[in-house]
């Protein structure tokens, strides 16, 4: 039985900062961002968006299409949790009016957790083939103002429906995975911005890739030339390019610049203009590939590398299914990305510093441009959400 991705919906905030604006504010050459790290824009959530509203807005098109009816497992992957006890997924479950016969839990392991979610969901569907699982990756990537990581910030969410006989991608059973206790990136509970050893993190990302690949290659007998495209975890687009170059060198596969572009470029387009969205980043890459690629990818194998600092890496793969184009949300994604509002530097800094109040008081948040749901305030220590769906 084939099991894999049946639907894939991406959502990000309606506001962004052009990295030219950030470069001017930081007295840095714009090309350091545009060329050096390969990023042009970073998506910034308004004060009335959080991982719940981003997630609910990503999953809303699935609800509207009637695709959530058989979902009995909701896995919410995030490292931007809003509560130490209650899963953010339960708020989403409520906003989307899902059936109460559903398991719901939050998963955390930096940017890796959505892939753990997909693999757990595959196990669930193998045992319950008529049922579906919804994996939602949702994060807000925040680094300190003026820090090297600042230009890689972003936010976004991807809702991934996992089922038997999937209409988009059948996931192959073999995977290579690698865990090691390292401190390349982390966020203690008392901080709202991540701490990171930037250069070291890029080395660990690649080390975990090479180790995961070795296992995958041994299990499958495949080589890098057996793939039509690759999707990498994308903290910034240059990282994915460097990782693939390194893997090619390690495995003695020659790729010139044109071949590299053909293998990776389509998967990097959305991240280049939205930034890192942690748990969802690799799936934003997959969405970008499927939406952007002019060639029919049906029957083609895509290599997938997921990485979460701390660290866990996993290399796995999937085969694109015939007719996949008819179930994509490409028009909605393009429409969202083309109709965002640019922030000035001052607006960005004001939003950054606004944060979510932590004094235990009651608040009503002003309304900004959001998707189908908004974080409207806090009352008696409880977050309040509003549905804008008519």
Active-site annotation, residues? 79, 111, 233
Q: Is residue 37 a contact point for ligand HMG (CB under 6 A)?
A: yes
Give 202 or 387: the residue with its C-beta nearer to ligand HMG.
Answer: 202
* Alpha-carbon gap, residue 243 to 207, rounded angstroms: 9
* Alpha-carbon gap, residue 53 to 90, rounded angstroms: 12
Q: Could you give the string, one character per residue 216-235, with x where binding to ligand HMG holds by CB under 6 A and - elsewhere?
A: -----------------x-x
Site for ligand HMG in 38-77 (CB under 6 A): none
CB of 320 closer than 8 Å to CB of 300: yes
- Residue 373's contacts (CB-CB under 8 Å, 6 or more residues apart) are 52, 53, 56, 57, 60, 95, 385, 386, 387, 388, 389
Q: Could you give the string, one character per residue 92-111, with x where binding to ligand HMG holds by CB under 6 A and - elsewhere?
A: ------------------xx
Q: Which stretch binds ligand HMG (CB under 6 A): 45-53, 95-103, 148-156, 298-306?
A: 148-156
The residue count for binding ligand HMG (CB under 6 A) is: 29
- Please tell me the chain's helix, strand, coil percentages from 3-state DSSP, rounded to the nearest 5: 40, 25, 35
Give 312 or 319: the residue with its C-beta nearer to ligand HMG.
Answer: 312
Q: Among residues 305, 307, 329, 373, which is the contact residue for ligand HMG, using CB under 6 A?
A: 307
C-beta of 28: minimal distance to ligand HMG in Å? 8
Q: Which stretch binds ligand HMG (CB under 6 A): 29-37, 51-59, 247-255, 339-347?
A: 29-37
Q: In this structure, are strands 229-232 and 301-308 parallel, antiparallel, or unpaired?
A: parallel
Q: Which of 137, 138, 140, 153 is nearest to 47 (CA)?
A: 140
- Residue 380's contacts (CB-CB under 8 Å, 6 or more residues apart) are 362
Q: Report how far apart, in Å, the C-alpha atoms of 235 and of each of 6, 99, 281 are.
A: 25, 35, 7
Give 21 or 152: the residue with its C-beta nearer to ligand HMG.
Answer: 152
CB of 371 closer than 8 Å to CB of 335: no
Site for ligand HMG in 245-284 (CB under 6 A): 276, 278
C-beta of 203: minimal distance to ligand HMG in Å? 9
Q: Compute the Cα dihedral for 80, 82, 86, 90 and give only its sign.
A: negative
Q: What are phi and psi of 335, to 5 degrees?
A: -60, -45
Q: Could you give the string, one character per residue 149-188, with x where binding to ligand HMG holds by CB under 6 A and - elsewhere?
A: x--x-------------------------------xx---
Binding residues (CB under 6 A) for ligand HMG: these are 29, 31-32, 35-37, 79, 110-111, 148-149, 152, 184-185, 196, 198-199, 201-202, 205, 233, 235-236, 239, 276, 278, 307-309
């Amino acid at each position: 039985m084939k099991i894999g991705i049946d639907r894939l919906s991406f959502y990000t905030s309606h506001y962004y900062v052009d990295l030219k604006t950030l470069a001017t504010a930081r007295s840095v050459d714009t090309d350091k961002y545009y060329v050096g790290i390969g990023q042009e824009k970073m998506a910034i959530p308004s004060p009335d968006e959080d991982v719940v509203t981003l997630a609910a807005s990503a999953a809303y098109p699935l609800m509207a299409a009637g695709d959530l009816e058989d979902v009995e497992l909701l896995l919410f992957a995030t490292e931007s949790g809003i509560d130490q006890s209650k899963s953010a997924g339960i708020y989403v479950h409520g906003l989307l009016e899902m059936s109460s016969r559903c398991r719901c839990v939050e998963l955390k392991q930096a940017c890796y957790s959505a892939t753990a979610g997909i693999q757990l969901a595959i196990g669930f569907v193998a045992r319950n083939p008529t049922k579906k699982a919804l994996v939602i990756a949702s994060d807000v990537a925040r680094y300190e103002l003026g820090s090297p990581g600042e230009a890689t910030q972003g936010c976004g969410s991807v809702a991934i429906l996992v089922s038997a006989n999937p209409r988009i991608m059948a996931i192959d059973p073999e995977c290579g995975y690698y865990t090691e206790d390292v401190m390349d990136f982390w966020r203690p509970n008392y901080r709202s911005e991540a701490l990171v050893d930037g250069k070291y993190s890029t080395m660990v990302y690649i080390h975990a890739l090479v180790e995961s690949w070795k296992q995958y290659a041994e299990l499958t007998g495949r080589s890098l030339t057996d793939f039509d495209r690759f999707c990498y975890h994308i903290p910034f687009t240059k990282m994915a390019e460097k990782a693939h170059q390194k893997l090619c060198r390690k495995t003695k596969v020659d790729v010139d610049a044109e071949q590299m572009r053909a293998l990776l470029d389509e998967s990097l387009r959305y991240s280049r203009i939205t930034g890192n969205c942690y748990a969802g980043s690799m799936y934003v890459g997959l969405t970008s590939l499927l939406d952007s690629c002019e060639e029919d990818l049906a029957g083609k194998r895509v290599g997938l590398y997921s990485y979460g600092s701390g660290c866990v890496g996993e290399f796995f793969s999937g085969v694109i299914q015939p007719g996949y184009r008819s179930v994509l949300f490409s028009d909605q994604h393009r429409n969202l990305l083309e109709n965002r509002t640019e922030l000035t530097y001052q607006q960005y800094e004001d939003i950054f510093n606004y944060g979510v109040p932590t004094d235990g008081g009651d608040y009503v948040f002003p309304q900004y441009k959001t998707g189908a749901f908004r974080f409207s305030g806090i009352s008696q220590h409880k977050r309040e959400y509003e549905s804008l769906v008519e």
